[in-house]
């Protein structure tokens, strides 16, 4: 793997969701919410996720989608519609 290569697809969408979350979340706020959900992710790891330099597990995608109330498909860039299926 070349240095600087993106290791995840959702970084840009995580940053976007964080800015549009009401009230807006800081990276530290998001890390706290992830920790409450049982994931050991701190602010520096959130930053790496957003920059694309940290891989994201399937469980992490599901938890992020739940926190932001968006679909996993939207986080993965498969759709432009962030709505979750009911």
pLDDT (tens digit per residue) in 25-74:
999 999 999 999 999 999 999 999 999 999 999 999 999 999 999 999 99
| Confidence at residue 81, expressed as pLDDT on a 0 to 100 scale | 79
Q: Number of structural domains, the chain?
A: 1
Query: Own/partner pairs for 37-43, CB < 8 Å, 24+ apart?
Result: 37/63, 37/66, 37/67, 38/63, 39/63
In a domain, 31, yes or no: yes
Q: What is the dihedral of CA 70, 75, 76, 77, to 10 degrees?
A: 90
CATH number at residue 44: 1.10.260
Range of the domain at 17: 11-75
The larger pLDDT score, comparing residue 81 to residue 4, is at 81
In a domain, 3, yes or no: no
Query: Own/partner pairs for 4-8, CB < 8 Å, 24+ apart?
Result: 6/52, 6/53, 7/52, 7/53, 7/54, 7/55, 8/49, 8/52, 8/54, 8/55, 8/56
In a domain, 70, yes or no: yes
In a domain, 60, yes or no: yes
In a domain, 83, yes or no: no
In a domain, 82, yes or no: no
């Amino acid at each position: 793997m070349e240095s600087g290569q993106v290791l995840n697809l959702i970084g840009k969408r995580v940053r976007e969701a964080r800015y549009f979350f009401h009230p807006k979340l800081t990276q530290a706020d998001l890390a706290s919410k992830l920790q409450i959900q049982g994931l050991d992710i701190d602010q520096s790891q959130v930053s790496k996720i957003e920059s694309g330099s940290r891989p994201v597990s399937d469980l992490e995608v599901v938890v992020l989608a739940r926190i932001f109330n968006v679909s996993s498909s939207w986080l993965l860039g498969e759709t432009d519609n962030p709505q979750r299926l009911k």
